[in-house]
Amino acid sequence: MTDSDKAPNNGESVTTRRGVRSFVIRQGRMTEGQKKAYDRLWPVYGLTREQGVIDPREVFGREAWLNLEIGFGMGHSLAEMAAAAPEQDFIGVEVHSPGVGALLKEIEERELENVRIYAVDANDVIDLCLPDASIDRVMVFFPDPWPKKKHHKRRLIQHEFVQRLRHKLRVGGILHLATDWENYAEHMLEVMDGSEGFVNARDEGGFSPRPEDRPITKFEKRGENLGHGVWDLVYRRTN
């Protein structure tokens, strides 16, 4: 295992799963500010696979609406959502060290107490760390589209993955997906419409308008200025 296969938290492996991955560990180091934030704050806000199945009430010290964001990137949108909804709790999952450090900086600067972070494969978090029916909303925003057809098997949103997510959502809970790749959007729609236990939140089906509580990222704004589309899908767990 190479250093790039290590998560930032104490060098544990990024994933325990074998086979095809939906992510590639990108090269890049934390800035000095991100590293300092990580060193100070990871013991407070970091969660590890080795902790096993968590009790969110113990983790956050309260019972509240619980959000899970898979692949939070540099963390700005997650921090913005957490700041806008202090009555809710947020767990973020990201394998890239600079993003973890950046979010920890945002947590400190915004004085957020309602965010916790995993720095390992989301599959491990789902399978090994989260109780069934514990999550109120799962968010997957702009995952790697793997645009080449031969790489489509690497796409995160697949029937098997969605079904594992379903068991972590409470009945009535929300799965919110967003992408700026039209082909991936169509793939997501096909997967979700064929997934047991989910119903489109829109009575007429299809894509949803962007919910007001999903922040618009700088990347998304830049894409819109270039005429690129963005597609949101919102589904609810029915059983």
Query: Cα(153)–Cα(22) distance, rounded to whole angstroms?
Result: 8
Judge whether 88 and 67 are in contact, CB under 8 Å.
yes
Q: Which residues of 111-136 are buried (b: 16+ CB within 10 A; e: fewer)?
A: ebebbbbbbbbbbbbbeebbeeebbb
Q: Which of 144, 180, 193, 203 is catalytic?
A: 144
Residue 78: C-alpha distances to residues 85, 96, 179 (Å): 11, 15, 16
- Structural element, H or E, at residue 136: strand 135-141
> Is 144 annotated in the active site?
yes
Q: Whose CA is closest to 30, among 92, 105, 120?
A: 105
Q: Residue 109 is which amino acid?
A: E
Query: Cα(51)–Cα(192) distance, rounded to whole angstroms?
Result: 31
Task: Give all strands of the β-sheet with 231-237 in edge-to-edge order.
Answer: 46-47, 115-118, 89-93, 66-70, 135-141, 169-179, 231-237, 198-200
Residues catalogued as catalytic: 144
